[in-house]
Amino acid sequence: MSSSIHQTAQRTIELEAQSVSGLAAFIDADFEKAVTTVHASRGRLVISGIGKSAIVGQKIVSTLNSTGTPSLFMHAADAIHGDLGMIQEADVVMIISKSGESPEIKVLVPLIRNFGNTLIGMVGNTESFLASRSDIVLNTTVSKEACPNNLAPTSSTTAQMVMGDVLAVCLMELNGFTGKDFARYHPGGNLGKRMYLRVADLYTSNEKPQVRAGATLKEVIVEITAKRLGVTAVTDEHEQVTGIITDGDLRRMLEKSGELGSVTAKDILSANPKTIAPGVLAVEALDMLRNHNISQLVVAENGKYLGILHIHDLVREGIV
């Protein structure tokens, strides 16, 4: 049985991979026209379908909206019972169907044509009702479904999904859609946070440990312990950073020094600590921490001490 399962899984993957690679032959003049038409439109891209194609349509709408192309989904069955009202004059309509012959599609297409909107048909049968009545045809024909009975939409829906992704990516490039734009549409997710969260958003909630160069060993230990960041900055009278003392620095000093009574901060500090400006992206701070194998960064601007950024701040926000 295990061998049979393995063979079925491998065959399914191969058939679906073929359905995707076969799309390369369908990137033609009609595809380019579809991209440029949607890009030039002053309205939205309204996507419709029935059955599994409707589910694919919803995913494509989600991808388009999150990458800068305003879109909405209209179920083909609901469209002929009132939802046609969501289509505006400047909108482009795309109907997705494998056969292009579904009864709901045959009812919907003439209504769209009467509205005068540009109609794109994403269809797996270029001789179908939908294909013959569309202004633009996106061909998603597959030779065989991965279903052993060649019935259940499998390879065909994979092809539709990929064609939708190709459309979205081409529109992203035409729109000049950047990482910053992506972050604007994904402010609540970790991906978005990596694009917009800055050091200034994180360090201000921490304590601000600091001592002067002449501080005693006891004062240094008390400051590090009280502020609970495992570190203290050493600053001068103008709040300029002159060094940093970490828990590790203290341990190493205690291992080497016999006489502790005369030890001051300047005897322990590490000069030229790694600093970061408050306006830097948090993900860049993470790169600095990793590259230097450290847990804290001194936040400073023009040399003036502002606070401490700890790796735990990045973990808490999901950046790590």
Q: What percent of the chain has pLDDT over 70?
A: 96
Residue 316 has pLDDT above 80, yes or no: yes
Domain span including residue 166: 2-177
Integer-rounded Cα radius of gyration of the chain: 30
Indicate the pLDDT class of residue 319, thresholds 50, 70 and 90: confident
Backbone φ and ψ of 307, nearest 5°: 165, -165
**108 in the same domain as 247:** no
pLDDT in tens, 255-288: 876 677 788 999 899 998 999 999 999 989 999 9
Tell whether 184 is covered by a domain: no
State the pLDDT at residue 252: 85
Query: Does residue 179 register a pLDDT over 80?
Result: no
Asked if residue 209 has pLDDT above 70, the reply is yes
Q: Is residue 185 a part of any domain in this protein?
A: no
Domain-located, residue 173:
yes
Same domain, 286 and 161: no
- Whether 190 maps to a domain, the answer reads no
Mean pLDDT for the stretch of residues 196-206? 92
Among the candidates 124, 143, 177, a domain finishes at: 177
Same domain, 144 and 225: no
Phi-psi region of 116 (alpha: psi -120 to 50; beta: other; left: phi over 0): left
161 and 52 in a single domain? The answer is yes
155 and 265, same domain (yes or no): no
Same domain, 144 and 15: yes
Whether residue 206 sits in one domain with residue 151: no
Residue 257 CA, chain-centre distance (Å), reads: 51
The CATH number of the domain where 270 resides is what? 3.10.580.10
| pLDDT, mean over the chain | 92
Q: Is residue 226 part of a domain?
A: yes
> Looking at residue 195, what is its pLDDT?
73
Q: What is the pLDDT of residue 28?
A: 96
Check whether residue 172 and residue 207 sit in a common domain. no
- Do 54 and 28 contact (CB within 8 A), yes or no? no
The total number of structural domains that make up the chain: 2
> pLDDT tens across 36-94, in order?
999 999 999 999 999 999 999 999 999 999 999 999 999 999 998 989 999 999 999 99
Predicted TM-score (pTM) of this structure: 0.71
Cβ 151 vs Cβ 47: under 8 Å: no
Position 257 scores a pLDDT of 66
Residue written as token pair 């305003």 = 70
- Same domain for 243 and 107? no
146 and 255 fall within a common domain? no
